[in-house]
Amino acid sequence: MHELSLARSLLDEVDAIAARHPGSHVTEVRVSVGRLSGVEPSLLACAVQRLFPERGHGRARLVVDSAELLACCERCAGQFVVRDLVLRCPVCRGGRVRILRGDALVLESVQLCGAEGPESDE
Amino acid sequence: MTRRVIVVQREVQAQPREAAEDVRRRWAAEGTLVVNLLSSPGAGKTTLLEATARRMRGRATMAVLAGDPATMRDAQRLAPLVPVVQLTTVGACHLELALVERGRDALGMKPDFLFIENVGNLVCPASFDLGEHLRILVLSTTEGDDKPAKYPKAFRTSHALVVSKLDLLPHVPFSLQAAVADALNIQPELEVMALSALTGEGLDQWCRYLDRRRQALLADAAHVAGASAPGSASGGAAAR
């Protein structure tokens, strides 16, 4: 049950973004849960929805997308989607494979209402 | 009212990754190889540690941080053999870095090998970096050969697979070949060993593996210490 720890970290990020846009409130938080993230989406959603009101985001909704596992072969540099959990390059059969996406929980975006300021968090 | 979408696209960590990296570097600089043992409950982590402690005696120093949701039983078992601190999680299903650091402080020594015996669970511990240099997955022959496919993250994030209870292999429907094949599909770079902590079969290979990894860690640490720019670690022994 590490989803609660993840939910707290997620809300810390959301709080920080909201604080950079004074006078606004959070209306939507969009995350993606990777296939190899080890995160159970419904447990995460349950934890986040419990935390929203106590963090002052009572009007926010959480959107959870799923992310496929995308990998890159370090030998032939080919990119491929891992469908059957075989993390081996389908072209050259190389075993040195880097995961590009799909092994983590990612905060994709935060929608704010009444906000001024930049549209990227960087 | 204006609506605005702030694009973030940043990984959310259960705990800050930098904290684990700092601890990993510090342990390496102190000459301690830190090994995080992951397994289901009852896979034989404590028995493997008892056998390892007997083998290490007189030639290397070793200590254990034993994690469990309740009781001091693992610490009581290991105490006659090695310095040990019990980390009781009070029901939590995994160890976190802060608890491990407190355990290390309580230990008050810098051993050659520090084993962190994680809470028996193949799900949550896989998501927590404890600053270890090696993550070892212990899978016993009595658990079934389907576990690598069922718990991919634990296998993907490990450096080595130790198949334990090899002495029971003739008595259980466990295909070593199938388990290893699935594990290697998920992590082709996994080092695979099979052993029995009771009969001693495979323990020499296990201890040689640990020695080799500690030598690599010391070589890396010396390289880092000698480099002009701090943080230019090659990361050869860093956890995945």
pLDDT in tens, B88-121: 988 888 899 999 999 999 999 999 999 999 999 9
On whether the CB atoms of residues B165 and B196 are closer than 8 A, the answer is yes
pLDDT value, residue B137: 98
pLDDT value, residue B218: 95
Q: Count CB atoms within 10 A of the CB of residue B209.
A: 17
- Span B32-58, mean pLDDT? 97
- A38 falls in which pLDDT band (50, 70, 90)? confident
Looking at chain A, which residue has its C-alpha nearest residue B95? Answer: A2
Q: Which of B2, B5, B6, B7 to mutate to test the interface with A (most CBs of A within 10 A)?
A: B6
pLDDT value, residue A15: 96
Q: Is residue A92 pLDDT above 90, yes or no?
A: yes
How far is A33 from chain B, CA to nearest CA, in Å? Answer: 10
pLDDT value, residue A119: 63
What is the value of ipTM here, to two decimals?
A: 0.89
Strands A105-113 and B3-12: antiparallel
Looking at chain B, which residue has its C-alpha nearest residue A31? Answer: B9
Instruction: Give dist(CA B62, CA B113) in Å, integer.
Output: 5
Q: Is residue B236 pLDDT above 70, yes or no?
A: no
- B237 falls in which pLDDT band (50, 70, 90)? very low
Q: Is residue A122 pLDDT above 80, yes or no?
A: no
Instruction: Give dist(CA B23, CA B105) in Å, integer.
Output: 12
Q: Which of B1, B12, B123 sits opposite A105 (nearest CB)?
A: B12
Percent of chain B topping pLDDT 90: 80
Tell me the chain B residues in contact with residue A59 when contact means C-beta distances shorter than 8 Å. Answer: none
Q: Is residue A117 pLDDT above 90, yes or no?
A: no
Q: Is residue B240 pLDDT above 70, yes or no?
A: no
User: Tokens representing A111?
Assistant: 């929608």
Looking at chain A, which residue has its C-alpha nearest residue B181? Answer: A86
Query: Among residues 96-135 of chain B, which lie with CB inside 8 Å of chain A?
Result: 96, 123-124, 126-128
CB contact under 8 A, A36 and B152: yes
B86 bridge partner residues: B66
CB pairs under 8 A between A and B: 118
CB contact under 8 A, B11 and A85: no
pLDDT value, residue B239: 42
Q: Which of B4, B97, B153, B182 to mutate to test the interface with A (most CBs of A within 10 A)?
A: B4
Report which DSSP code applies to B69: S
CB contact under 8 A, B153 and A37: yes
Strands B62-68 and B84-88: parallel
- Select from B84, B10, B232 the least CA-distant residue to A13: B10
Q: CA-CA distances (angstroms) from residue A106 to B8, B12, B19?
A: 9, 6, 19
pLDDT value, residue A118: 61
On whether the CB atoms of residues B111 and B61 are closer than 8 A, the answer is yes
SS (H, E, C) chain A: CCHHHHHHHHHHHHHHHHHCCCCCEEEEEEEEEECCCCCCHHHHHHHHHHHHHHCCCCCCEEEEEEECEEEEECCCCCEEEECCCCCCCCCCCCCCEEEEECCCEEEEEEEEECCCCCCECC
Lowest mean pLDDT among A106-110, B153-157, B229-233: B229-233
B137 bridge partner residues: B38, B161
- Span A41-54, mean pLDDT? 95
- Span B132-153, mean pLDDT? 96
Tell me the chain A residues in contact with residue B186 when contact means C-beta distances shorter than 8 Å. Answer: 85-87
On whether the CB atoms of residues A121 and A21 are closer than 8 A, the answer is no
For the entire predicted model, the pTM comes to: 0.87
Q: Count CB atoms within 10 A of the CB of residue B240.
A: 12
Q: Is residue B178 pLDDT above 80, yes or no?
A: yes
- Span A93-97, mean pLDDT? 91
Tell me the chain A residues in contact with residue B122 when contact means C-beta distances shorter than 8 Å. Answer: none
- B222 falls in which pLDDT band (50, 70, 90)? confident
Strands B134-140 and B33-39: parallel
Percent of chain A topping pLDDT 90: 80
Interface residues from chain A to B (CB-CB < 8 Å)? 1-2, 5-6, 9-10, 13, 17, 21, 24, 27, 31, 36-39, 85-88, 95-97, 103-121
- Span A54-76, mean pLDDT? 95
User: Tokens representing A18?
Assistant: 């909201």
One-letter amino acid of B21:
E
Q: Is residue A24 pLDDT above 80, yes or no?
A: yes
- Span A55-84, mean pLDDT? 95
